[in-house]
A = this chain, B = another copy of it.
Amino acid sequence: MAKELKDLTKSEENYSQWYNDLVVKAGLAENSAVRGCMVIKPYGYAIWEKMQAILDRMFKQTGHENAYFPLFIPKSFFSKEAHHVEGFAKECAVVTHYRLKNDPEGKGVVVDPDARLEEELIVRPTSETIIWNTYKNWIHSYRDLPILCNQWANVVRWEMRTRLFLRTAEFLWQEGHTAHETREEAIAEATKMINVYKEFAERYMALPVIVGHKSPNERFAGAEDTLTIEALMQDGKALQSGTSHFLGQNFAKAFDVQFTNKEGKLEYVWATSWGVSTRLMGALIMAHSDNNGLVLPPALAPIQAVLVPIYKGEEQMKTIVAKLDAIAAELRARGLSVKVDARDNVRSGFKFAEYELKGVPVRLALGPRDLENGTIELMRRDTLEKEVVPQEGLIDRVAALMDEIQQGIFDKARSFRDSMITPVDTWEEFVRTLDTKGGFVAAHWDGTVETEVAIKEATKATIRCIPLDAVDEEGACIYSGKPSHQRVLFARSY
């Protein structure tokens, strides 16, 4: 592990390689034998489970229920909503057969040509079509509304260039799909859920995000409006971390889902969908970690405090480990997730490096001198600050430290992010800021897709969002010079 840590690429040398090294060496995930599909390893999955549990609770608190819809979508469903098929048909896994048979030439198994499906099935890249086809049978009257369903599932998008967690052919996510009586209610739902995501990102992931509307060009395929939370990574690139879509009546019309409203008239149902995925793992890792490894906010750390004995000889070990076990029991009684690492086949220096790599928020180390003095060494992972503290009052101190670290990680990320929002008023400044500093560039835009596309082609920067809290301000588009009345946020992004 000490060796592995030494091999961790420095982030300033190659950020992208640093990220990949970190994901693999910290035991979060790895590439599999299947192109673009990852294996999420136990330590990575434990973080994802914590995210899931918190999000699931937040969804239920806002009135949503979980359900499960089929993995497969009949090909014909895709053609029913024009923008949707445009958006997803070019990168989807297609099931064409339902049987293998022994190779007549004796080489393993081959696809049985006699077992061809009448209609091909698409492995879901998202579930609007199959869900709205189902909702058709659930919705007849306004009394059947709203429907507030969420699904935890795997989805597949055949990405050509993949990166662990950030962009994989298969990924895990949740997708909420709601059905409403009125446009206003659906818009309110989409807004409510993007705010749930914002609260989750900031409070639990310690990740400050900007909430805004996507530009029409960046909207979800089939949406009338897409709300997004945008985070900033330490290399100055933005990362879209969650989206919530107001789908209008597009899917209701595509699947003919009508209801009798309170006035007794038939009307199409209004829809939203919203999702976050294992991509959040990438955001969490890139936003906080350093050259020593992961930095995990305590709210999501599988191990919040690790206790390491320092000793010579078996006798001393027993005494010290017994003391650490007692401290660990008290910490657990305070609701903390704690590990005592009493392995005797690796040195303590190796253990220290390992838990730094794994981002454990607090490390406690107890040696013979501490035993005499009633002290213990305490290190916090986020600042790498180390101090020797009295054992008395330790439990309160560690418990309080969890909140302090959580807040500290958030504050650091927010200061950085805030320092990386640069208002610019000229094209030259715009390009220079992107090239030398990165981050979000707040600039005027004339509101046209043509300008947006031209800027992307010239700089690789896209409009990350039109912030919800953007203030009215007259100005001129940095690209076309045409009038604009609010700044939008551009950035290069993941």
**Residues of A participating in the B interface, judged by any CB pair closer than 8 Å:** 30, 32-34, 37-42, 45-46, 48-49, 65-79, 85, 89-102, 107-109, 111, 120-123, 130, 133-134, 137, 143, 149, 153-154, 156, 158, 170, 172, 345
Within 8 Å CB of A90, what residues of B?
99-101
Q: Which residue of chain B has the shortest Cβ distance to A70 in the bound complex? A: B37
Contact B121 A109 (CB under 8 A): no
Say yes or no: A89-B96 contact (C-beta < 8 A), given A34-B73, A71-B156, A108-B75: no
In the assembly, what is the distance between CA of A99 and CA of B86, in Å? 12
Contact B67 A45 (CB under 8 A): yes
Within 8 Å CB of A45, what residues of B?
65-68
Contact A69 B39 (CB under 8 A): yes
Q: Which residue of chain B has the shortest Cβ distance to A78 in the bound complex? A: B109
How many copies the complex holds: the figure is: 2
Within 8 Å CB of A100, what residues of B?
75, 78, 85, 89-90, 92, 94, 122
Contact B123 A95 (CB under 8 A): yes
Which of A100, A107, A133 lies at the interface centre, i.e. has the most chain B CB atoms within 10 A of its CB? A100
Contact B130 A75 (CB under 8 A): no
Within 8 Å CB of A70, what residues of B?
32-34, 37-39, 170
In the assembly, what is the distance between CA of A243 and CA of B172, in Å? 26
In the assembly, what is the distance between CA of A97 and CA of B49, in Å? 32
Shortest Cβ distance from residue A399 to the other chain B in the assembled complex, whole angstroms: 23
Contact B154 A71 (CB under 8 A): yes
Contact A96 B99 (CB under 8 A): no
Shortest beta-carbon contacts, A-B, top 3: A79-B108, A37-B70, A42-B65
Say yes or no: A66-B95 contact (C-beta < 8 A), given A33-B130, A108-B76, A121-B34: no
